[in-house]
Amino acid sequence: MDILTTDIDKLSFKFVKEKVEEIDVSKLLRSEELTKIINILKADKRKNINSLGDKLKREKEKIENEINRVKAMYNFDKSFGEFNIIAGVDEVGRGPLAGPIVSCAVILDLDVLDEELLLWINDSKKLSEKKRVELAEIIKEKAVAYNIAMCDSEEIDRIGIGVCNNSVFLEAVNSLKVKPELVLSDGYTIKGIDIPNKSVIKGDTKSATIAAASIVAKVYRDKLMKEYAEKYPYYAFEENVGYGTSKHIEGIKEYGPCKIHRMSFLKNILES
């Protein structure tokens, strides 16, 4: 690293800035090298060089705080007793006017080192689309097991959204390639499950496995709804993923419902 081996006074701001931007703070987090670089930058006589040191320090602190936050989520999952294999399950798409309800169950290794923690996992709605897509791939790669289940709009109309919600929870868990010893479910306990089950209110902000399941489920459903948008172009599914936005409702009133609409959800709209 040139910043460590060269007299920084002889380096231009542009050069130092380029070198700082190359630093992967997450990889150097525990090293003395990062601390030395920050101290060198902050000791320079130039304020713009000092600001680079402050920026590195803030980034270091941000990642350290994120590690502590996610470790607390992992520890939450391990706080329910002597269970070794824990699955989290969540759903997305309970409330839209169109499209399926999708559930995902995820089993994580909860005893990983800090370097292997799934940083930035959270309630999927709190993450940007880009971050969700990125995390979904990492989760699927690192998960001990994961499984996705869904009920389409016809089934939702036939048996009701509540029954479908429970059904996709059950299917997502029961079809996992590794059988969990405990299932943590977001919001409510699962009816008919033969595995110990604990419900967690706002689980996608407290539990690592539920948060991971939330992200994978949303990315899967959002991708599906964008595919439907090409087939049914009048409802702006690519924007609203089936939720009742004004543009979506205008499309229903002008063109009528399409095959993936939940007719049981449209009574008030069609009658108005």
Q: Is 208 helix (H, G, I), strand (E, B) or coil?
A: helix
| CA dist 225 → 20, 77, 239, 256 (Å) | 41, 31, 9, 18
> Residue 81, exposed/middle/buried by CB under 10 A (0-12, 13-18, 19+)?
exposed
156-183 burial, b for 16+ CB within 10 Å, e for fewer? bbeeebeebbbbbbbbbbbebeeebbbb
Among 249, 263, 224, 204, CA closest to 93: 224
The answer to whether 90 is a known ligand-binding residue is yes
Q: DSSP labels for 120-184?
A: T---GGGS-HHHHHHHHHHHHHH-SEEEEEEE-HHHHHHH-HHHHHHHHHHHHHHT-SS--SEEE
d(CA 141, CA 143): 6
The answer to whether 222 is a known ligand-binding residue is no
**Residue type at position 26:** S
Q: Which residues are annotated as a binding site?
A: 90-91, 186
Residue ranges for the known binding site for a divalent metal cation are 90-91, 186
